[in-house]
């Protein structure tokens, strides 16, 4: 087993290498919340890079609830033509394309508006910046059932548009992760209380999707190994949830961790301690994979070939890479060709505020994605502060655009 050996998933789908482009929030939709030339260009750039598969950035299952402005939405009345072009561009050199599907729950910016739903009416705690987030309300049973159905419909439409699979986003503090968390889910009905009840929403999402797609269509789950908050979703909880969802017929599991409150996916825990700089979640994956029948993917800071090979040596068959592929879309191809240029890294931030640090890191990554989307070279010699300010200005424009779109669609 090496980085460029093929891997066949339990549903019979084969990816040509073990390296997978993990999801990054792109914020590159057009004014109608659809993919167009920018996203097509971006995935064309990655398509020639010897990747086994690419996982898209968040695609929302409900236009009323967005993780951020500039997001893509796929629901019942959506035009599938731009999605077909997206999948064709991604697959032109033999890589698979899997759509990450998501609902933000309570993690919705106040300025963006829309519906702010959560298992329970507990707001996001960002300290002094908490006012930036919308105030959540507890979901009614009908809204829970509607949202489960929406995940199934989005997956079905993704298959119709030529995508090879979906990844259900059940990590990073978004809606499914909120149901799993005892800190956020204080419900007293069948969707709250015990871990079994808290996992019910995720299990029903998987079942909804399985009913609507073909058996060869890949279904993956991105799950927190833990949410890195005292009294929250733990390693032991994750192991039990994995055992349950495996029985539901999923085909791979991506391990990550954290949320807006504790951004472990960026190498930070709730108390500010720094995690291992590459392959953050490898230790947990090493415990999971021997007990797991489906392949496990580790994502989190991997940027060197040696680290990727170490992950494989530890028995983890899939390597997820995000930021490093935003800097060099042909990173895996370079590794295979023996090209080992001096590592390019984004500026390292030593800021005290985890929130501002997280926003700046995302802004620097998005700048690289925007460059590729415009067929321009990436550039790591950038000012974090300037990129943060520029990104916030851009997102403010996209927020206004989304608000206008909402007003227009509601008036029709």
- pLDDT tens profile 109-136: 999 988 999 999 999 988 888 898 999 9
- Give residue 265's pLDDT: 47
User: Domain count of the chain?
Assistant: 1
d(CA 289, CA 296): 6
User: Is position 352 within any domain?
Assistant: no
User: Is position 299 within any domain?
Assistant: yes
User: Is position 406 within any domain?
Assistant: no
| DSSP reduced 3-state for 184 | coil
What's this model's pTM, rounded to 2 decimal places? 0.93
Express each pLDDT in 46-104 by its tens digit.
999 999 999 999 999 999 999 999 999 999 999 999 999 999 999 999 999 999 999 99
Q: How confident is the model at residue 260 (pLDDT cuts 50, 70, 90)?
A: low
User: Is position 374 within any domain?
Assistant: no
Question: Cβ(324)–Cβ(330) under 8 Å?
Answer: no
Question: Cβ(117)–Cβ(134) under 8 Å?
Answer: no
pLDDT above 90 as % of the chain: 75
User: Is position 149 within any domain?
Assistant: yes
Give Cβ neighbours of residue 400 (< 8 Å, ≥ 6 apart): none
The H or E element that residue 175 is part of is helix 175-180
Could you list the residue range(s) of the whole structural domain that residue 33 is in?
Answer: 7-346
In CATH, what number is assigned to the domain containing residue 126?
3.20.20.70
Q: What are all long-range contacts of 208-214, with beta carbons under 8 Å and residues at least 24 apart?
A: 208/148, 208/149, 208/151, 208/152, 209/151, 209/152, 209/155, 209/156, 209/166, 209/168, 210/248, 210/249, 211/152, 212/152, 212/153, 212/155, 212/156, 213/155, 213/156, 213/159, 213/166, 214/159
Has residue 22 got a pLDDT over 90?
A: yes
- DSSP secondary structure code for residue 44 in this structure: H
User: Is position 351 within any domain?
Assistant: no
């Amino acid at each position: 087993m090496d980085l460029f050996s093929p891997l066949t998933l339990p549903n019979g789908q084969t990816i040509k290498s073990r390296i997978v482009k993990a999801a990054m929030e792109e914020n590159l939709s057009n004014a109608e919340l659809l993919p167009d030339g920018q996203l097509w260009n971006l995935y064309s750039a990655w398509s020639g890079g010897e990747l086994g598969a690419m996982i898209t950035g968040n695609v929302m299952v409900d236009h009323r609830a967005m993780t951020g402005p500039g997001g893509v939405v796929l629901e019942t009345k959506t035009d599938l033509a731009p999605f077909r072009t997206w999948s064709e561009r991604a697959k032109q050199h033999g890589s698979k394309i899997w759509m990450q599907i998501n609902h933000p729950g309570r993690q919705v910016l106040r300025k963006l508006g829309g519906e702010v739903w959560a298992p329970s009416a507990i707001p996001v705690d960002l300290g002094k910046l908490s006012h930036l987030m919308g105030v959540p309300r507890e979901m009614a049973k009908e809204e829970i059932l509607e949202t489960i159905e929406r995940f199934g419909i989005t997956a079905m439409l993704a298959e119709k548009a030529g995508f090879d699979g979906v990844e259900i986003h059940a990590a990073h503090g978004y809606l499914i992760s909120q149901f799993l968390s005892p800190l956020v889910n204080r419900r007293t009905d069948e969707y709250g209380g015990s871990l079994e009840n808290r996992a019910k929403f995720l299990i029903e999402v998987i079942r909804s999707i399985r009913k609507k797609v073909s058996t060869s269509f890949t279904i993956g789950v991105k799950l927190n190994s833990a949410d890195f908050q005292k009294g929250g979703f733990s390693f032991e909880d994750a192991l039990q949830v994995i055992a349950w969802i495996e029985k539901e017929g999923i085909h791979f599991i991506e391990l990550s961790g954290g949320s807006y409150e504790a951004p472990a996916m960026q190498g930070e825990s709730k108390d500010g301690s720094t995690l291992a700089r590459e392959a953050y979640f490898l230790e947990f994956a090493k415990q999971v994979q021997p007990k797991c029948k489906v392949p496990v993917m580790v994502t989190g800071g991997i940027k060197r070939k040696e680290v990727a090979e170490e992950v494989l040596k530890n028995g983890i068959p899939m390597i997820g890479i995000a930021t490093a592929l935003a800097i060099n879309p042909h990173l895996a191809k370079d590794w295979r060709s023996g090209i080992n240029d001096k590592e390019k890294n984004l500026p390292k931030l030593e800021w005290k505020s985890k929130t501002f640090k997280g926003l700046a890191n995302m802004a620097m990554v998005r700048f690289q994605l925007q460059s590729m989307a415009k067929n321009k070279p990436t550039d790591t010699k950038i000012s974090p502060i300037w990129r943060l300010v520029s990104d916030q200005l851009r997102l403010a424009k996209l927020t206004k655009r989304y608000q206008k779109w909402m007003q227009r669609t509601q008036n029709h």
